[in-house]
Amino acid sequence: MSCWHFSLRRKLLPYIEGEIHEKDLKRLERHLLDCGLCRDLLLRLRAGHQMAQKLAHQVPGGDYPPEIEAMMAAAGEGTPRPRMRVQAWHDWVERFATPGVLGVLTAVLVAQLALLVASNRDVLFGQKSAATIKTSDLDLNDFHVLDIADLKLNTEPHIATEGYVTDVHTDKEEGTVAFKLVESQSAPGPFVVCEIMSPIKMAAPRDGSYVRVYGVSRYDAQTDRKWYEVNPVLDIAVLKH
Amino acid sequence: MIQRPELANNKCAVDREQERHLVFAVQRGDPEAFRELYDAYRERIYNLVTYSIGDPLQTQDVLQTIFLKVFRGLRGFRFQSSLSTWIYRIAHNECQNYHRAWRAPHVPLEAILGSHHEIDTRPVSHEQHARQERDVILQQALMQLPFKMREVVVLKYVEGLSYDEIGRVLGCAPGTVASRLNRALTELEERLRPFKRLL
């Protein structure tokens, strides 16, 4: 003999826990009056439930496993470098850091600095704004650089792509800024929608400027959208105002 | 080391918004953010893996693999599911892979608890002794259940997940979770019936 009320049998545990819906409660209690098998199952489940509630919680040891430590350290330093190289660098400095060599190096550095200041004086003395909107601790070399038209072939999560900024839209309620990036100002496509969102604080690029956007690549499959996105945007470099 | 379930609720939990910030920070390459996420989830995942695998050495290896996968995967994580579901799902897949690859019988949990007793040489009260004995009986009974049933019991009773959440982690409907729980609990009851007075 068996009971075929499978759906009601599934409600027995919620019934024991007092989390059953009212409409199911009446049905179940009516069924329990008639069905000895389900009454037996109820008793066994109640006992099993009480025992399972006493299962102990295992607590792991306090140390981080070495591989996890190494991985976190590598993430903090960008590309992990072998320690031997650091040692070799120190040895090299100790051997060649004579006053003469240091003097020549200092002179070269000063000359380079002067050249750098001369070539960027517009930016440095405020006649133009700085080219990069946000300098973050991202390693921008990790991003896969590709054209907007090639986004559909991309499988990398982190990408960098360039284009002209159009349709900048700020949503104050959501705290997001979205804009379109197009390859050519004369054609509407191909394009990618870029979204700057909380908690990443970043100024929106100017409409018409040519920028390189770094961020996470995704595809928005909603019926009214169906487009590629860089969401969230992690950094923006303005290449042309 | 074993802790009572009521104390286990004091987990290093982070709320959704905090979690979102941490994920973005990990995506920007911040190791401290990953450390925080690791601390928040280590204990929860450790429980699932310990009860799924049983062997303490293998548990550490599997746990490490899970978090390495989490760390690599977080760079492309787009919040299409909740972070906890995603991490539990990775853990579930890794435990399943372990069972597929090894197909070995479980190591009795006595092996784990035995080493614990050997290290902790302090005298124990009668009550503590009874509790330890009860833990061993319960855990041994649970470890005798098939992997799929064991997993559903741990997710429900040790991790406190709802039927819907368990369904999302295991990739099945809440109804299937309920049926599996019914089978698991009745089997557990059958195995523990002779020890009922001790429990």
What tens digit of pLDDT does each residue of B74-88 get? Answer: 888 888 888 999 999
Contact list, B3 vs chain A (CB under 8 Å): 56-59
pLDDT (0 to 100) of residue B149? 93
Name the residue of chain B whose CA is nearest to A198's CA.
B21
Say if A58 falls within a structural domain: no
**Mean pLDDT for chain A overall:** 78
Question: Do A91 and A102 fall within a single domain?
Answer: no
Q: How far apart are CA A69 and CA B71, in angstroms?
A: 12
Q: Do A10 and B178 touch (CB under 8 A)?
A: yes
Give the alpha-carbon dihedral of A34, A38, A43, A46, to 10 degrees.
-120
- Residue range B117-136, pLDDT digits in tens: 444 556 667 777 778 888 88
Residue A61 domain-assigned (yes or no): no
pLDDT surpassing 70 at residue B27: yes
pLDDT tens-digit map of A57-91: 776 666 667 777 777 666 655 433 334 344 445 55
Q: Are residues A43 and A123 in the same domain?
A: no
Q: How far apart are CA A209 and CA A166, in angstroms?
A: 8
Q: Is the pLDDT of residue A110 over 80?
A: yes
Question: A166 and chain B: CB distance < 8 Å anywhere?
Answer: no
Separation CA A56–CA B113 (nearest Å) = 12
Instruction: For B136-145, write each residue's pLDDT tens digit.
Output: 888 889 999 9
A134 part of a folded domain: no
ipTM of the complex, rounded to two decimals: 0.78
Q: Does residue A90 share a domain with residue A103? A: no
Q: Which chain A residues touch B68 with a CB distance below 8 Å?
A: 67-68, 71
Pick B5-195's CATH classification: 1.20.1050.140, 3.40.50.300, 1.10.1740.10, 2.30.42.10.
1.10.1740.10
Q: Report pLDDT for B184.
A: 95
Residues A147 and A229 in one domain: yes
A 67-96: CB under 8 A from B: 67-68, 71-73, 75-76, 78
Query: What are the residue ranges of helices labelled H in chain A?
Result: 6-9, 12-17, 22-34, 36-52, 66-77, 83-96, 99-119, 121-124
pLDDT of amino acid A220: 80
- B176 — pLDDT class (breaks 50, 70, 90): very high
What's the number of CA atoms in the CB half-sphere (13 Å) around residue B24? Answer: 19
Pairwise CA distance, residues B46 & A68, whole Å: 14
Structural domain boundaries, residue A23: 6-52
Q: What CA–CA distance (Å, rounded) separates B186 from A18?
A: 19
Percent of chain A exceeding pLDDT 70 equals: 76
Which residues, at least 6 apart from A205, have a Cβ–Cβ distance to it below 8 Å? A133, A165, A168, A179, A211, A236, A238
CB burial string A18-54: b at 16+ within 10 A, e below? eebeeeeeeebeebbeebeebeebbebbbbbbebbee
Question: Do A232 and A144 share a domain, yes or no?
Answer: yes
Environment class of A236 (CB within 10 Å of its CB; exposed 0-12, middle 13-18, buried 19+): buried
Return mean pLDDT, chain B. 80
Reading the block at residue B3, the tokens are 């802790």
Query: Is A225's pLDDT higher than 80?
Result: no
Number of domain units in chain A: 4
Residue A124 within a domain: yes
